[in-house]
Amino acid sequence: MTKVTPAQVRELRERTGAGMMDCKRALEEAQGDIGRATDILRERGQAQAAKKAGRAVSEGLVASYIHPGGRVGVLVEVNCETDFVSATTDFQDLCRNLAMHIVASRPRWVRREDVPPAIVEHEREVLSREAEAAGKPAAIVERMVEGRLKRFFEEQCLLEQPYVRDPDHTVGEMVQELMARLGENIQVRRFQRYERGEELD
């Protein structure tokens, strides 16, 4: 087994926020490769987060962000299981960062399940007509439509958007990582983005 040094454990902990023993085990499994160890911790965190996702959330925060100049601002409600977690710096940072992300990336819904079926059907019809107009066979049209719908959800749904501060990962993955680290279910409930002169959705 590759010998893991305290410096490697410390570096991995700083990168991921995971516990010391979790970092040590991941590095041993990855034979000292910090990149692979990071992936191992991420995969485990997502698995742990999936187990927590069904637990009730009745605490949390409503966070706000107003961009300098006062032209655009956001309110976002993020829920967790206990007031202890809602008081942590990690949770408060998440709420603030989500509000800033929403200002920058302009999502319309939290998750794809929130998109009204009529809008999904309209998008599907428009995309189908575009693909058919290009003269593509029916089987190709269906694949193109599904691919473009996926892109629509990634652009319009908060949890599927690339996180502005780390575009290699989605907002949903960032939330899952914090769930794994804090040991609680965390859910983004709703948000409202305000921009001067714009009508509300």
- The CATH class of the 59-111+157-195 domain is alpha beta
Task: Indicate where the chain has its CATH 3.30.479.20 domain(s).
Answer: 59-111+157-195
pLDDT digits (tens, 9 = 90+) for 139-154: 787 888 888 899 999 9
Query: What is the pLDDT at residue 89?
Result: 95
Domain 6-52 maps to which CATH number in 1.20.120.330, 2.130.10.10, 1.10.8.10, 1.10.1040.10?
A: 1.10.8.10
Maximum Cα–Cα distance across the chain: 62
User: Could you give the residue ranges of the DSSP H alpha helices within the chain?
Assistant: 6-16, 20-29, 34-52, 83-86, 89-105, 117-133, 138-156, 171-182
Task: Indicate where the chain has its CATH 1.10.8.10 domain(s).
Answer: 6-52
One-character DSSP codes across 145-170:
HHHHHHHHHHHHBGGGSEETTEEEEE
How confident is the prediction along the chain (201 residues), in pLDDT tens digits per residue?
Answer: 567 888 888 888 777 666 677 788 888 888 888 888 888 877 776 545 555 555 667 899 999 999 999 999 999 999 999 999 999 999 999 999 999 999 999 999 999 999 999 999 998 888 888 877 877 777 787 888 888 899 999 999 999 999 999 998 999 999 988 988 888 889 999 999 999 888 776
Task: Indicate where the chain has its CATH 1.10.286 domain(s).
Answer: 116-155
Domain 116-155 maps to which CATH number in 1.10.3470, 1.10.760, 1.25.40, 1.10.286?
A: 1.10.286
